[in-house]
Structure 1
Amino acid sequence: MPRQIAFTTVDAFSSTPFGGNPAAVIIWPDAALAQDDALAQNIAAEFNLSETAFGLKLEGGTDKQPRYELRWRTPTREVNLCGHATLATAHTLFTSHHPDAESIAFQSRSSGTLIARRIPDASGRTERIALDFPVSPLVTLEDGHRRRPKILETVAEAIRDFDPSRVLRVAWSDVREAAIVELEAGVDLEKLSVDPTPLPQLGRQLILTCPAPAESGSDIYSRVFAPASGVPEDPVTGAAHTALAPFWLLDKHSISRLPDPTRAHDTSVLRAKQVSRRGGELIVKLEEKNKRVELQGSARRVMRGVLEL
């Protein structure tokens, strides 16, 4: 008889089904299975979502804050951090495993301890979940930097009718192996036609971002492409915002271009929207002194079942 392993799929950074970024979540029933990397990668490939999260309960937790090991895989490889799959895992654990927990401590292999905290609504139900992540350091690539021309050449190859005069700033994050390209306000980022095929030349990710329109209720828009990791375009990318937070909030020129720069500066908070086809929204708070970023978002379970192995 086949071994059965429970799974859920959750739409992260969305309060309704079929929005945000879907992630599959596996909570391993025992430590032996959790050590089978080949099995985990096959499961991630089978789901074929941008990421699948794998959790294992650890000793030392409490009823109010249980502890879990957490790892993430794309259909082709393991990654060192994933925001939306962490949110999906926290939602699964809060709703199905630890209804009385106030937070969950996730131990990751490359990104340290990550805390997920429930934010209840007036009725006590979990309305949003806050994730505490390390900030992703970055460097602005000024004119003449050796990496900048290659990034712009590749972006021009990927984006139909690309106009380099609309690029205001380029940055690089070693942690994320990501290029960040700021486009001027007025660029219709959602409708840009992007061919991800040439983008692996840049690194793991390309993050396109621009100020949101004043009437949108958001501060920034973004789109994220990661074909080198088997994800042509990621619907909503929590981890990318650990780089977008310092990109926008710690540069006086970029922050001045936001719809409400004074509020963003005084609160260190961004209202962010990823304008992929599915789309998703999150609140991003930079804690510069502690070098942390808090990501807040909603999640919605859309499927649960069992794998038969």
Structure 2
Amino acid sequence: MIFDDDLLERCISCGFCLPACPTYALTGEETSSPRGRITLMRALETGRLEPDDETLVEQSSFCLGCRACEPVCPAGVQYGNLLEQWRDHQWQGRNRPVVARLLMTVVARRWLLRLQGIVRRHARTRDSGRPFSLMLGCVERGLYPKVSRAVRRLAPGIQVPSAQGCCGALHAHNGESAQGAEMARQLGKQLSGTIVTTAGGCAAHLSAHLGRDRVKELSEWLVELNAWPDGEVRVDGRRARVALQDSCHLRNGMGVTRQPRELIKAVADYVELPSAGGCCGAAGTYALLRSADSRKVLAPKLAEIEAAGVDYVVAVNPGCLRQLQQGLRGSRVKALHLAELLAQAGNPGA
């Protein structure tokens, strides 16, 4: 058995998922939609298609895994779980993309992650048993060390143990969901109290394995604490105009959309992009594995950002931040993390 029967049979093929799916929007082909992919999964489960079938191989990779189909599904299909089970079967051994294999090897080694901290100087404190711990993230601590330092300015009392490992989301999304789950449990043991994350994808993965009450994304944590910045972000003598790019997993997996918008409105003039809730094409390793398709998903969003006349576009996930920064090279619009924007405004005293 490849898939859980109750998950696979829940789909009633109604088609509500089609308009929500970014890859279906690109191709207009049924096989590139969640409904079409579930049909392929059923064919794989029953043996009507072999794992090396070209369509199966292509569609297991082409899917962004953004889970935009889940909130609109009247039958409550847990597509994210199905995709993980599909890739667990489809992406074994040499069938897993080489880049994914390399990244998974790196993030599974805690000493390599700690080495990033020494070089990049992300925030770090001793584990003092405080009720809140900041999760550094495997990618973010190396690429964006300013984010954890910004969180420390916003919340000086939060602890940031440097010995923590990866949460396992990358493994779960690339064919090793069992190891991804174990890595999440190990991180839960390494970090005391409530785990605060600055990465929407990591937050969704951790909350699925540690419990929703144990994991908080930065914006929802700050709002729950009533920790509002006491200043504002200004550009050329006026309040900055700021847009938001939602994290797909944070929005579709955890339902967190209101809090980052409220925080931005507290420090700047918020501008809602028409596709703020749609995928930017980063999708974890997707931008590396399928760069051309990733850019196609991103292109209309970049046009929206330019047309909106904003000064900043804010991300709540490091992959999205990287995607936006690369797409906006040469633009007057700057992409930055929510923590960095709030730190510019002032210290909320959390």
Same fold (TM over 0.5): no
TM-score between the two structures when normalised by the length of structure 2: 0.24
Larger helix percent:
2
TM-score between the two structures when normalised by the length of structure 1: 0.27
Larger strand percent:
1
